[in-house]
């Protein structure tokens, strides 16, 4: 009790106050940003799965060639496990991986065939930063048992030598493209028409196996990563009158009235000119204020 | 003669003089105050706060999930063929009834400067092709010149359009759809609400846009945008 009254008490109180106000003023956005998003992609044909996160099942009977909605998880380390559907939660998982999540990021956990044709779980970091206006981001990921390939859009290479569990990322003009993969000069998989819309990120996964001719595609599109046009410029000639225009009519008529009144006063008071001097001075100030009021620059100069 | 005016008349003239000067000052002050935001407001601003679809995944509110629970997740098909191709039936013409203005429209994107591409023909409208087609979900934008290189443009009189006016949009498949003007706004160009005007979600809305306000001779550019909002009839 005694300590609270002395200078130490004051310091303690001040520290507590500072701590409390710091806590209160912490933006709620900072707390919200302490999460990340995880998307699970199923690229293993013929395998129905239960998905576990940190030993809890989050999705049952997850069928192949599907993708989950984004799952929000706190930042930090998490355990992703995949078991065969209806397998007990204690059973050894078919696939598992640890992921470390940073605030605000999005990752994709992909179950697929590795280069040795065995199932594997790969974690990709997703670039969902805004796309340049008028463009679209294409991310091709190798989630198949296939030789290294080049990625071509309308016959033009946008990436070379993509290998298993690797990816290629490119930003292209928004358009419909013919996507083809070439390995050692030959088409690896049938060409596909891909709509790459403005302001989207398109994650494309090559899945399956080249050796049994089962290569195929999965796609996961993220919308709303574009920017609207910055401006609309639709005139350069000034044919349309300014709006609002300078109030010419009211200002000139009011000044006219003032001038007439001043003139009448002056005419009527030649004999008493000595008394009227202050009045003329004031009317002079009034005229001056019009000039200063003519534009913001005039005001600024005055200050 | 000059000294014959009565004190009453002199007083009246004084009052007139002072009143006129005060009124002038007040007029000028109001004119000055109006200038930074000379927003013309006609009609109620369309409410964009009630989107018909959820926000994109990136911006969806993240809830803190300390314990992951059963059935938290849903999944959807991920086949390439399931990607929506986003090709809409483009508008090819716009006609407003009051005042009678309009013209043909082309599809346009963005300039390297980041501004919407509007073309160089003052009589041809530009539809923002990365946004929705008029009548689809979200805000569809059609821009037109107020003037260009000394010639009046197709939207020379857009600032005269008032709520209730009818807008007929013609599409590439030769169909037509009618919209009704609900509001007109004038924004300083620096304050143009581009996120709202180019929104890809929310109720269908048609935005017609041109330039207006004061003309900046040095920059060869108007200081404002005139924005007309219309909704499906």
What is the structure's pLDDT at B75?
A: 86
Query: What spatial distance separates the first Cα and last Cα of chain B, rounded to whole Å?
Result: 74
Among candidate residues A144, A148, A128, the one with its CA nearest the CA of residue A136: A128
Q: Which residue of A has its CA nearest to B123?
A: A234
CATH of the domain at B123: 2.40.260.10
User: CA dist A149 to A122, A125, A263, B82, Å?
Assistant: 19, 21, 93, 24
Helix/strand/coil percent split, chain B, to 5 = 20, 35, 45
Q: Alpha-carbon distance A168 to A176, whole Å?
A: 19
Residue B213 maps to a domain: yes
Residue A228 confidence class, pLDDT cut points 50, 70, 90: very high
Residue B20 maps to a domain: no
Note whether B159 contacts A243, CB cutoff 8 Å.
yes
Among candidate residues A40, A275, A263, the one with its CA nearest the CA of residue B73: A40
What is the structure's pLDDT at B45?
A: 66
The tally of domains found in chain B comes to: 1
Q: Going residue by residue through chain B (233 aa), what tens digit of pLDDT does each one get?
A: 444 567 777 787 787 777 777 776 666 655 554 443 445 677 776 666 544 443 333 333 333 333 444 456 788 888 887 666 666 799 999 999 999 999 999 999 999 999 999 999 999 999 999 999 999 999 999 999 999 999 999 999 999 999 999 999 999 999 999 999 999 999 999 999 999 999 999 999 999 999 999 999 999 999 999 999 999 99
What is the structure's pLDDT at B60?
A: 34
Residue B84 maps to a domain: yes
Note whether A244 contacts B35, CB cutoff 8 Å.
yes
Among candidate residues A186, A187, A181, A137, the one with its CA nearest the CA of residue A160: A181
Note whether A51 contacts B73, CB cutoff 8 Å.
yes
Calculate mean pLDDT across residues A207-229: 93
Mutate to test the interface with A, among B7, B19, B27, B80 (most CBs of A within 10 A): B80
Evaluate whether B153 touches B147 at the Cβ level (below 8 Å): yes
ipTM: 0.73
Residue B140 maps to a domain: yes
B85 lies within 8 A of chain A by CB: yes
Evaluate whether A77 touches A98 at the Cβ level (below 8 Å): yes
Mutate to test the interface with A, among B18, B22, B24 (most CBs of A within 10 A): B24
Higher confidence at residue A45 or residue B84? Answer: A45
pLDDT tens-digit profile of A116-137? 999 999 999 999 999 999 999 9
Q: Which of B16, B56, B109 minimises the CB distance to A261?
A: B16
B76 lies within 8 A of chain A by CB: yes
Note whether B17 contacts A258, CB cutoff 8 Å.
yes
Q: Which of A106, A232, A270 minimises the CB distance to B225?
A: A232
The residue assigned the tokens 């600024």 is A300
The domain of B105 spans: 72-232
A267 lies within 8 A of chain B by CB: yes
Residue B133 maps to a domain: yes
Residue B47 maps to a domain: no
Q: Which residues of B touch A56 (CB under 8 A)?
A: 67-70
pLDDT over 80 (residue A253): no
Residues 125-184 of B with CB under 8 A from A: 128, 130, 143-153, 155-156, 159
Residue B44 maps to a domain: no
| This prediction's pTM | 0.68
What is the structure's pLDDT at B66?
A: 36
B7 lies within 8 A of chain A by CB: no
Residue B11 maps to a domain: no
Q: Which of A218, A234, A258 minimises the CB distance to B20?
A: A258
Q: Which residue of B has its CA nearest to A217?
A: B80
């Amino acid at each position: 009790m005694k300590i609270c009254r002395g200078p130490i008490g004051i310091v303690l109180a001040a520290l507590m106050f500072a701590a409390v106000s710091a806590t209160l003023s912490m933006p709620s956005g900072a707390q919200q940003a302490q999460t990340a998003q995880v998307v699970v992609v199923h690229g293993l044909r013929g395998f129905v799965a239960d998905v576990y996160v940190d030993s809890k099942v989050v999705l049952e009977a997850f069928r192949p060639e599907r993708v989950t909605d984004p799952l929000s998880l706190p930042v930090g380390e998490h355990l992703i496990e995949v078991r065969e559907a209806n397998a007990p939660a204690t059973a050894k998982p078919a696939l598992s991986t640890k992921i470390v999540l940073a605030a605000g990021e999005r990752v994709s956990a992909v179950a697929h065939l590795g280069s040795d044709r065995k199932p594997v779980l790969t974690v990709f970091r997703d670039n969902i930063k805004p796309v340049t206006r008028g463009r679209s981001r294409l991310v091709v990921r190798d989630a198949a048992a296939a030789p290294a390939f080049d990625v071509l859009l309308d016959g033009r290479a946008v990436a070379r030598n993509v290998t298993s569990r690797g990816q290629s990322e490119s930003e292209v003009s928004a358009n419909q493209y013919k996507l083809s993969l070439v390995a050692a000069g030959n088409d690896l998989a049938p060409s596909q028409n891909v709509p790459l819309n403005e302001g989207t990120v398109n994650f494309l996964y090559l899945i399956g196996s080249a050796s049994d001719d089962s290569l195929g595609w999965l796609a996961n599109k993220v919308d709303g990563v574009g920017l609207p046009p910055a401006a609309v410029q639709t005139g350069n000639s000034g044919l349309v009158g300014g709006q609002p225009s300078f109030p010419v009519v009211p200002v000139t008529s009011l000044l006219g009235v003032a001038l007439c009144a001043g003139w009448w006063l002056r005419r009527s008071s030649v004999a008493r000119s000595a008394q009227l001097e202050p009045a003329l001075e004031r009317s002079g100030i009034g005229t001056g204020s019009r000039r200063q009021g003519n534009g913001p620059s005039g005001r600024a100069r005055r200050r | 003669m000059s000294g014959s005016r009565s004190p009453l008349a002199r007083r009246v003239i004084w009052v007139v003089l002072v009143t006129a000067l005060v009124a002038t000052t007040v007029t000028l002050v109001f004119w000055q105050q109006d200038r930074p935001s000379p927003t013309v407001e006609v009609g109620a601003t369309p409410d964009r706060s009630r989107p018909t679809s959820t926000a994109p995944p990136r911006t969806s509110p993240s809830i803190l999930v300390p314990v992951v629970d059963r059935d938290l997740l849903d999944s959807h098909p991920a086949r390439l063929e399931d990607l929506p191709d986003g090709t809409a039936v483009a508008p090819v013409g716009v006609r407003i009834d009051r005042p009678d203005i309009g013209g043909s429209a082309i599809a346009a994107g963005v300039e390297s400067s980041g501004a919407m591409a509007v073309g160089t023909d003052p009589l041809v409208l530009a539809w923002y092709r990365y946004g929705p087609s008029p009548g689809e979900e979200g805000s569809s934008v059609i821009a037109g010149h107020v003037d260009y290189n000394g010639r009046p443009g197709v939207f020379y009189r857009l600032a005269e359009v008032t709520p209730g006016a009818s807008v007929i949009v013609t599409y590439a498949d030769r169909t037509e759809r009618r919209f009704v003007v609900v509001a007109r706004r004038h924004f300083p160009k620096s304050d143009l609400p581009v996120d709202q005007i180019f929104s890809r979600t929310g109720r269908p809305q048609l935005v017609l846009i041109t330039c207006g306000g004061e003309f900046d001779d040095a920059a060869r550019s108007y200081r404002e945008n005139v924005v007309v909002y219309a909704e499906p009839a």
